Amino acid sequence: MEYIDPYVTWSPCGQFIAVQTKEVVEIHDGLTFELISTLQPAKPTFQLVGIVAYSPDGHFLACISNTAIIIWDIQTGGVAKEIQCDGANRASLIWSLDGKMISTAFQSKTNNSVTICGYNVVSGTALPPIILLSYYRPRLWAHGTSFLVSTVVWVDRAYTINIFETMPTLTKVKSFPTQLRNCRIAGFSHTAYRIPVQINRGGNKLLILDVQTLEVLLDVEGDFRQNCFSLDGSLFAAIKSRGNIHIWKYSEGHYIPWREFPNPSSRTFYLRFSPTLLSILSFGDIPRLWHLDNPSNTSTLHSPQFTIFSHSGKFVVTTYCQKSTITIANLLTETPHQFIETGIKIVGLGLTGNVLLVKGPKRILAWLLTEDGLVNNTPNDRMAGWSDSIWSVLAPQHCSWDLVFLIEGETGVIKSDGKILHIYNTTTGEVLKPTQELVHLKEPHHLLVGMKRGQDCLYDTSAHITSPEGDEKPSQAIHKGGWIEDHDGKHLLWLPVEWRPMYQS
């Protein structure tokens, strides 16, 4: 299962960690990171795309999907509410302190505008949106029954931080000219009114600045990337580029070095202190919990679980990141689980139709499954292995599983970085085209690049099929199995559920 950065949050009590994937929200133990439960959207068409947030009392968990804010009841695991909204580009999701309102903020990718939206949790009604200007991602937090938001604007050749109260009306509360320029403001502590500043001109340097007094509370050399404050602002953590996780503690008017942990992940995109200040979560290639009270033995490593349900609902495929064994469990019968020993360290899992795709550090393997999830009718009393795979190919670097689909009998296609397609023959594993440009995907169900009879084709799944010469053909209904068919009934392109138009036949 693929994790989305940086959509992870602690429960108010600090006992649980909610982690969002593209399909579900996982609830993990706050001490061991063991998986406790899984929350699923009520509708299969929902694709989780945004922040997760606990209610103030910890009884509910909200998450943004592509079309709605989904609210789960933590005690029952069921969906308690769905509030309609456009989930694109949401950067914040916050509950009011009384639990009656939810507010979101998102920043435009084309300009510096920030849109603040508010929703009544009980009725689901939306308040009129508020649009602000900010050069950096806004910080949104609860303030009684309303919300506060910080923005960064350019005034008199320097950055100014403004604090607004929002929902239902907009009121400027405070304004702090910083005299900062030629730098990157990388966060904000709304409890201590402090900002981290990364300066990369004339040498790399990290500063922490008190915006109320302009006093420098930390001045350290180095290029630091991800960072975070603790809730009360007493602790600050940052990852040095290609280096360790550094933690500073506020004491006598300054931040002083306090803890340092090795950072084995090649890509870390999230740091967050627990509300109890007992641990810090670094979330990247592999989630890792660091216990702050025992620096000599603080690292607790637990691989994230990948889980994929078959489209028929008959079986589920599970494994753990960096492990080599896959478990396939039939959900409708009590038959024993089937196991696949892949022989590789698993870093990605995909299921397209009845083809199971497994990605390792340097190789992608594929198995053909039956409707019940068996590998080539492998008996339940033995373990399937690499020899049972239908093909094996070298894996492209940094290959994501955002979009995986097959073209029947000819090629398999795996999306990489949103711009490059890696195309393979599904029978032999031969690379048919190492790379191919992908038209920018402006919205789901729109514009996919594929291959048909050896020619490049552009498929618009919501309107028509276009050839390279620009000739349009009438739209073809998508079969219930997810295939786009031509006039002769030949399967052209298989689409995952989330990429199928709502009006499919």
Residue 381's pLDDT band (boundaries 50, 70, 90)? Answer: low
> What per-residue confidence (pLDDT) applies to 137?
84
pTM score above 0.95 = no
With cut-offs at 50, 70 and 90, classify the pLDDT of residue 350: confident
162 or 74: which leads in pLDDT: 162
pLDDT reading at 398 higher than 50: no
How far is residue 493's CA from residue 302's CA, in Å, rounded to a whole number?
37
User: Residue 41's closest CA among 85, 71, 6?
Assistant: 71
- Written as one string, the DSSP assignment of 395-434 is PPTT---S-EEEETTTEEEEEETTTEEEEE-TTT--EEES
- Considering the chain, what percentage of its residues have pLDDT values greater than 90? 28
Q: Which residues pair with 164 in a beta bridge?
A: 149, 172
Average pLDDT (263-278) is 79
> Could you tell me the domains of the chain?
182-270+284-302 (2.130.10.10), 315-499 (no CATH)
CA end-to-end distance (rounded Å), the chain: 29
Q: What single letter denotes the amino acid at residue 63?
A: C
Rounded distance, CA 272 to CA 275, Å?
9
Q: How far apart are CA 204 and CA 187, in angstroms?
A: 17
User: What amino acid occupies position 9?
Assistant: T
What pLDDT sits at residue 108? 81
How many CA atoms are closer than 13 Å to the CA of 58, on its beta-carbon side? 11
pLDDT at 203: 74
Work out the percent of the chain whose per-residue pLDDT is above 70: 68
- Decide if pLDDT at 408 tops 80: no
Q: pLDDT tier at 82 (50, 70, 90 boundaries)?
A: very high
Which H or E run includes 255?
Answer: strand 254-261
pLDDT of residue 193: 95
Cβ–Cβ contacts within 10 Å for residue 217, how many? 19
Q: Provide the b/e sequence for 335-355 (b: ≥16 CB within 10 Å).
A: eeebbbebebebbbbbbbbbb
pLDDT band (50, 70, 90) for residue 322: confident
Higher pLDDT residue, 119 or 46? 119
Q: Give residue 300's pLDDT band: very low, low, confident or very high (50, 70, 90).
A: very low
Q: What is the pLDDT of residues 219-250, one digit of tens each?
A: 999 988 889 999 999 999 999 887 889 999 99
Whether the link from the prior residue into 12 is cis, omega within 30° of 0, is no
- Radius of gyration (C-alpha) of the chain in whole angstroms: 25
Convert the pLDDT of each residue in 194-220 to its tens digit: 999 999 876 789 999 999 999 999 999
Across the strands, what pairs with 391? 366
pLDDT band at 440 (very low <50, low <70, confident <90, very high): very low
pLDDT given for residue 159 in this prediction: 94
The band of 130, judged by pLDDT with boundaries at 50, 70 and 90, is: very high
Among 418, 419, 367, residue whose Cα is nearest residue 392: 367
State the CB neighbour count (10 A cutoff) for residue 315.
Answer: 24
Choose the most confident range, by mean pLDDT, from 103-112, 405-414, 478-487: 103-112
Mean pLDDT value across the chain:
75
Q: How many CB atoms lie within 10 A of CB 123?
A: 10
Tokens 């849109």 sit at which residue? 115
Backbone angles phi, psi at 158, to 5 degrees: -155, 160
